[in-house]
Every structure is written in structure tokens, then in C-alpha cells.
Structure 1
Amino acid sequence: MTRRTALITGGAIRVGRAIALALAEQGYNIALHYNRSSHEAVQTAEEIKKFGVSAKLYQANLAEPQQCKALVERVCKENDLTILVNSAAIFPENDSILDGLGDWDEVMSLNLRAPLLLAEAFVANTPISGHIINVLDARINRPAGDHLVYRLSKSGLWHLTESLALDLAPNIQVNGVALGAIMPPPGADQDHFERMSEKIPLGRTGSPKLVGEAVTFLVGQEFITGAVLPIDGGEFS
């Protein structure tokens, strides 16, 4: 029997890594995408193999449209791809209209256009059924003045998740996970992260492992599509 494969974009580090490990533990072979994190990708692949599954590495700059299509085509040629997890994203520190919107092209290309192009290639190259999981941000439900372009990109991805679920039904199920305080933001220390629990109804922060568990839950369901599962401790409900 051919073992199913999950493609995890941005799978070498942070949340993507946790998702890759969680799916590997459930018996999926992993196609691990990375861009610049080659050293971390090799380390994550070795951890994945401890679960008795394969881990193949795929480098691509997903901000380049042609590389999105080429990535999926290569993975499908070498594996039985049934799951696509769009985890790769960027989170610019200086991201407001006062900063000149200089990161617009890069953020929109990677955070929004790439998941759409990857989904398009996934549908064109996979069997008649499968799962797409998009990693979203729970804070999008609560407008604020920070990280303008990032918020726009994730808002668009949220809408794309719900729209693709209808467009691709009944063969492809499309769902999302909306993250709250899961890891310290880039550049923030652990103390800052722990203080975030004061605003969370459950009184504690989350972890990447919880995200991995949520993704494995969604890909195990046959009657859920168009859903966005909040993993935020109730902070943005």
C-alpha cells in the first residue's frame, strides 16, 4: 500500500515544523518545503524519519509564481500527495502605512498568492480527493493599527479558505487553523510571550504542538470543509 504524503510549506521551523512532525507521527510521509532554512530542514527531516516515514526536502522561493507550480509538480511526481499545508509566511516588523508599504509585494506574494497558486497546482496534479489546510491568524477578527499588510494578507487567505472550500467540494476539503499566542513573535523574548497569557481567557499561552494536533484532526475528518479552527485560548472569540 502506498503511504500518503503531506506537503508542508515552511516546514523546517516554528509552526510548520510542528505540523510536519504531527503528521509524520500519524504515518504520513512528509514533503518538507523550505526556502532559506536548509540547516533546520535537514534537522527536522531527521526527526521526522524517527516515526518510520520518509522525509524529502524541497527548496523553493514561493514568492516566485513559477516556483509554486514547479514545487507541487515535483512533489506529486515523486510521492502520493494528498495533503497540502500552507504554513510558509512572513511577518514584517515595520508594517504600517507610515512605513511606506515597502513590504507589500513580498508579503502578498508569499502569504496570499502562494497559497492560491499552490492550491491550484495541488488540484491539477493530485487524485480526486485530498485536504488543504491554511495557517491563519486569529487576530484578524479584531482590527488594530499594527502590521497592516500582514493583516490584509491573512484576511485574504481566510476568505480564500472559505471560498476554495465551496469551489473545490466535494473532492478537496479546505480548512484553516487560526493561531493566537502560540510562539513568541520574531524578535520577542520568552518573558514577553508569557505575559501575553494575561489577556487570554484560558490564562495560558499555546504551543506549536497544539497546532500540529489540530491539523491532524482536520485531515482526519470526512465531513468538515470551509471551517477555520481557532487555536487562541479564547482571546479573539
Structure 2
Amino acid sequence: MTRKTALVTGGAIRVGKAIAFSLAEQGYDIALHYNHSSQAAVQTAEELKKYGVEVKLYQANLIDPEHCHELINRVFADNHLSVLVNSAAIFPEADSIMESLGDWDSIMGLNLRAPLLLSQAFVEHAPVSAHIINILDARINHPAGDHMVYRLSKSGLWHMTESLARELAPNVQVNGLALGAIMPPPGASQDHFERMAEHIPLARTGSPKAIGDAVKFLVGQDFITGTVLPIDGGEFL
């Protein structure tokens, strides 16, 4: 029986790690991508192996277009890859209309161009019945002045998710998850995170399990594509 493999970009920490755990629980071997988080990647890999799956680590700087194609080729050379999760992203604090936009290239390169290039390379080798899942942000449909370039990159990725779903059908299903308050923002306290529940209709914040359950649902479907599933407790209705 051919073992199935999922590539999770940015899989060493935070959202990517939660997704990797969900896929490992379902029996997927994991191709775990990281860039700078080498220590965390090794630790995450050891934890994932407890599910009885194979875990291979792949380092790549996805802001570099050549690294995107090289990563996909390396993973396909080692595995039977059938799921691509585009999770790696940049969320800089200094990102507003009043800033110099000095991070434009890196934000757009990682958050928008990399998922496109990875998807292009993926479909060149992907088997029939493959999945691409893009990680989005639920706040995108509620415009605001904060994190301007980040918002633009995720808006583009949302549109790209729907466009690729049409372009790559019927062999590849492309869906997205639009995340709300799932875990504390980098540098924020747990208390700050819990206070965010005051603005959420369900009166509670989410958890990594919510992401994992959504990924499990999407890769188990054969009749859903072009869907962006909000995981936000109703905050951005």
C-alpha cells in the first residue's frame, strides 16, 4: 500500500505545527518545511513520530522563488505527496499605510507568491485526487488600517484559492481556512488572548484543535473545492 504524504510549510511552529499533528493523526507521513526554526522543527518531528508516521525535514527560504520549486521537487523525490498545505507566512508588527513599506517584498513573496509557485510545482507531479489547503485570515473581509501589506497578501491568497480551484479541477481540490482568534499573537500574553473572547459571538477563543479538525474535514472530502472555511467563532460575520 502506498503511503500518503502531506507537505506543511512553516510546519515547525504555531498553526503549521497544529496542522501537521492533525494530518499525522490521520496517518499521513509528514514533509515538514521550516526556514529559520530548525530547533523547533527537530522537536516537532520527534513529537509527530509518536503517531507512527514518517517525518522528513526540509529547509527552504520560500521568499526565494527558486527555493519553492526546489522544495516541491525534493519532497516528490522522497515521498508520495498528495497534500500541500501553504501555512508559512509573515505577520510583521510595523505594517501600516504610514510605514515605509520596506517589508513589501518579503511579505508578498512569502504570503502570496510562494503559495502560487508551490502550487504550480505541486500540480506538475500531483496524483489524481490531491489537495491544496491555503491558510488565510478571517479579518480580511473587514477592512481596517492595520497590517496593510499583510492584509493585501492574504486578500490575494483568498482570490487565488478560488481561482486555482477552478483552474486545477477536477484532479486537485483547492480550499482555504480563514482563521480568527485561534492562538495568542506572537508576543501577546495568554490574558490578552482570553480577553479577545469579548468580541466573539461564541464568547470564547479557538484552539489549535479547531484548525486540525477543519483540515481533517477538508482532506476527507471529494466534492468540495474553492471553499474558504472561517474558523473564527463568528467574530467577522
Could you state the TM-score of these two structures normalised by the residue count of structure 1? 0.99
SS at 1:165 equivalent: helix
1:84 is aligned with what amino acid? L
Deviations 1:86-112 (A, max 9, x none): 000010100012111111000000000
Is 1:185 the counterpart of 2:216? The answer is no
Is 1:109 the counterpart of 2:109? The answer is yes
Distance 1:226 1:69 in 2: 24
Q: Per-residue deviation at 1:126?
A: 1.8
Distance 2:126 2:172 in 1: 10
| Structure 1 runs of 4+ with >2 Å offset | none
Deviations 1:36-94 (A, max 9, x none): 00000011101111001000000000000000000000000100000000000010100
Equivalence for 1:29: 29
SS at 1:152 equivalent: helix
Equivalence for 1:49: 49
2:199 is aligned with what amino acid? K
Distance 1:8 1:96 in 2: 29
2:216 is aligned with what amino acid? T
Equivalence for 2:2: 2
- Structure 2: stretches of 5+ with no match in the other structure: none
Report the aligned-residue RMSD: 0.6
Equivalence for 1:72: 72
2:92 is aligned with what amino acid? P
Distance 2:212 2:67 in 1: 26
What are the within-5 Å matches in structure 2 for residues 78-97 of structure 1? 78-97=78-97
Moved more, 92-101 or 198-207: 92-101
SS at 2:154 equivalent: helix
Distance 1:149 1:196 in 2: 23
Could you state the TM-score of these two structures normalised by the residue count of structure 2? 0.99
Equivalence for 2:167: 167
Distance 2:133 2:215 in 1: 7
Q: Per-residue deviation at 1:192?
A: 0.8
- Structure 1: stretches of 5+ with no match in the other structure: none
Distance 1:47 1:2 in 2: 23
Equivalence for 1:152: 152
Identical amino acids, percent of aligned pairs: 75
Equivalence for 1:118: 118
1:191 is aligned with what amino acid? D
Equivalence for 1:225: 225
Q: Per-residue deviation at 1:129?
A: 2.6
Equivalence for 1:40: 40
